[in-house]
Amino acid sequence: MDNVTLVSGQNAGEIAQWIAARLGDALAKTPGETAMSVPGGSTPFPIFEELVKAPLDWARIAVWPGDDRIVPEDHAASNTGKIRAIFEPVGARVVTLTEGAQPPHFALCWMGMGGDGHIASLFPNTDPQVDDRRAIRRLTPDPLPPEAPFDRITLTIPSLLNSDALMFVIRGDDKLGVLGAAIKGEHDLPIARLLGAASQSVTCFT
């Protein structure tokens, strides 16, 4: 896959600068709103904290969670509540995922990936399709992750691919092995389905 670039050794500040540069370019191309999709979990938040320091026109940036646990936003397991707490103070609009929402075209779609090859909340058992007619789905992972045993709401593969660029931050040898096998087409896990259908640039920080 010639469109996939692996970048190693970058810290949170350097990754944040990379993201800010792409958001800045997108803002320069339109007088309206620019959207990005972001993941939850523990890895992104140190990067978020650096990103919001960037001198961007945050009032013109919409932040969409790529997925979330179906819990109230003030619940400890809510990604959206934590994302809102970081981005709203600088003026960004943080969107709550609902099944009726209409995701925009994203300037950048940043996803996480699990050791089982899931992306967003598209777990292997949910059999995500690259031609899914729905933009957002409510799903039940099986097995339920013990650290977050909740139903999920998630963007589908077509919504994730509706973007100028894709991005991952993947830590750990096990996950890197799953990613490498996906790039080589050695399995059919959700990450492989996404990468196989992606025509835009994909940057993976490792």
Q: Domain with 114 in it: what CATH number? A: 3.40.50.1360
Region of 157 please: left (phi>0), alpha (psi -120 to 50) or beta: alpha
Residue 206 lies in a domain: no
Range of the domain at 69: 4-201
- Look up the pTM and report it: 0.95
Number of domains the chain contains: 1
- For the chain, helix, strand, coil in percent to 5 are 35, 20, 45
CB of 56 closer than 8 Å to CB of 204? no
Rounded to 5 degrees, φ, ψ at 173 are -65, -35
- Output the tens digit of pLDDT for each of the chain's 206 residues: 689 999 999 999 999 999 999 999 999 999 999 999 999 988 999 999 999 999 999 999 999 999 999 999 999 999 999 999 999 999 999 999 999 999 999 999 999 999 999 999 999 999 999 999 999 999 998 888 888 899 999 999 999 999 999 999 998 899 999 999 999 999 999 999 999 999 999 999 99
Residue 42 lies in a domain: yes
